Amino acid sequence: MFTPNHIKGIEKVHNNNLLWINIEKPTREKLDIISNRFALHELNIEDCLTKNHLPKIDRYDDHIFIILQFPTTQKERNAQKFSQLSLFVGKNFLITIHQGDLKPLVELFQSCKEDNNNNKQNIIGNSTGYLLHSILDGLVDDLLHILIKIIGNIDDIEDAVFDDKVAVVKEIAILRREIITLRRIMLPLKRIMVEITSRDVKKLSNAEDDDLISYFDDVNDHISKVIEALEESKETIEIYKDTDFMLSTEKTNKILSFLTILFTLSIPVTVIGTFFGMNIHMPFSTNSSNTIADYIPMVIIIVVSIVSVIVMIWLFKKLGWMDKIKS
C-alpha cells in the first residue's frame, strides 16, 4: 500500500482499484519516493524537475510519461504565464506533477478528496484513461475561457484603434504576444493529444468504460477550435497593428504638413521684417525725406511678398495640401 501522506505536497485519492497521486511543487525527495514505488525512469524524474521542458510523450511497457504546458490564471510582466504538467499514467495509477498553479487541476483533485463517492466516480471513473480524460478536458475548457478573454480584449482594441485620443500600441503588443505564446503551446498539445487518442486510450481503458476514444475526440475538437480561433485572432491583431501604424503615420504627416505650410507662409513676413535692417527708406525713419519716391522700394517689396503668399496658397490648394490638413 502506497502511503505518502507523511510528505507534505504528496496527496493521493483511491477509487476502486485506481490510485491518483498529486504532487505540487516537486522536489527530489518527493519524486524519489514515487520513483522507487512505481519504478519510474530517472530521465523522466529529471524532466519533472524542469519547469519549462518541451512537451513530449514517452512510452514504456507498464506506463506512459507525458509533459504538457498549460496557461495559468497568473500573469508575469503583462504576459500570460504558463506551467508544466507532468503525468505518469499506468493501468491502475496516474500521477500528476505540477507547481500548484493550474487551478482547474487543483480544483478537480480537491473535489475527488471530498467524502463524496459520486465526485470520485464522475472524475476518476473505472480506468486511468477516463481520469486522464477528466484532467485534460478540465484544462482544455479553461483554455476556452482564456480565449474568450483574449477575444474580448481584441474587441476593446478595435474601438480604441480608431480613436485619435487613445494610444493602444502597448496593448496591441501585449495581446499579440499572448496570442503567439498561446499558439506555441497549443500546437504541441494537439499533436500529443492525437497520439494519445490513436495509440494509448485503448490500453488505458477497460470493458466497463464507454467508448473513451469519442471522449478524447471531443477534447481534440475543442483544441482544434481554440487553435482556429487563435489563428483568426492573430490575423485580426496584425490588421489592428498595421491600422494603428498607418493612422499614426497619417496623423504625424498632417502635423508635419501643417508646420511646413505655416513655416512656408511665414517666409514673406520674415523677409519684410528684415527690410527694416536694410539700407532703404522706411516710414518713421529719421533720415527719410517723406517723399513718394523714398517709399517705392518698400511698396514693391511688400507687393511682391503678398503676391508670393497668394501664389503659394493657390499652389498648395491645387496640389491638395490644404485639403489634407483639413481632413
Per-residue HEC secondary structure of the chain comes to CCCCCCCCCEEEEEECCEEEEEEECCCHHHHHHHHHHHCCCHHHHHHHHCCCCCCEEEECCCEEEEEEEEEEEEEECCEEEEEEEEEEEECCEEEEEECCCCHHHHHHHHHHHCCCHHHHHHHHCCCHHHHHHHHHHHHHHHHHHHHHHHHHHHHHHHHHHCCCCCCCHHHHHHHHHHHHHHHHHHHHHHHHHHHHHHHHHHHHCCCCCCCHHHHHHHHHHHHHHHHHHHHHHHHHHHHHHHHHHHHHHHHHHHHHHHHHHHHHHHHHHHHHHHHCCCCCCCCCCCCCCCCHHHHHHHHHHHHHHHHHHHHHHHHHHHHCHHHHHHC
1: in domain? no
Q: Which of 119-128, 214-223, 259-268 has the highest mean pLDDT?
A: 214-223
User: Is residue 4 situated within a structural domain?
Assistant: no
Q: 197 and 180, same structural domain?
A: yes
Q: Do 33 and 165 lie in a common domain?
A: yes
Q: What is the pLDDT of residue 77?
A: 61
- Are both 72 and 220 inside the same structural domain? yes
State residue 68's pLDDT score.
93
168 and 284: one domain? no
* 35 and 53 fall within a common domain: yes
Q: What is the pLDDT of residues 101-138, one digit of tens each?
A: 888 999 999 888 876 667 788 888 888 999 999 999 99
For the cut 80, the answer to whether the pLDDT of residue 5 exceeds it is no
Task: Look up the domain containing 223 and give its range.
Answer: 10-248
Based on the fold, state whether residues 38 and 172 are members of the same structural domain. yes
The verdict on 192 and 63 lying in the same domain is yes
Domain end point (choices 223, 248, 273): 248
Instruction: Look at residue 281 and tell me if it is in a domain.
Output: yes
Q: pLDDT tens across 37-46, in order?
A: 898 999 999 9
pTM of the model: 0.74
Q: Find the mean pLDDT for residues 16-30.
A: 89
Among residues 215, 248, 281, the one where a domain terminates is 248
Whether 220 and 115 map to the same domain: the answer is: yes
Q: Are 123 and 236 members of one domain? A: yes
Whether 170 is covered by a domain: the verdict is yes
**Do 240 and 264 share a domain, yes or no?**
no
- Which of 208, 233, 248 corresponds to the end of one domain? 248
What is the per-residue pLDDT for 134? 92
How would residue 163 be classed by pLDDT, with cut points 50, 70 and 90?
A: confident
CATH number of the domain residue 14 falls in = 3.30.460.20
Which segment of 98-102, 269-273, 286-290 scores lowest on mean pLDDT?
286-290
So what's the pLDDT on residue 78?
A: 61
Count: domains in the chain: 2
Residue 202, pLDDT score: 86
Residue 182 covered by a domain: yes
Instruction: Give the model's pLDDT for residue 86.
Output: 93
Clarify whether residues 204 and 310 are in a common domain.
no
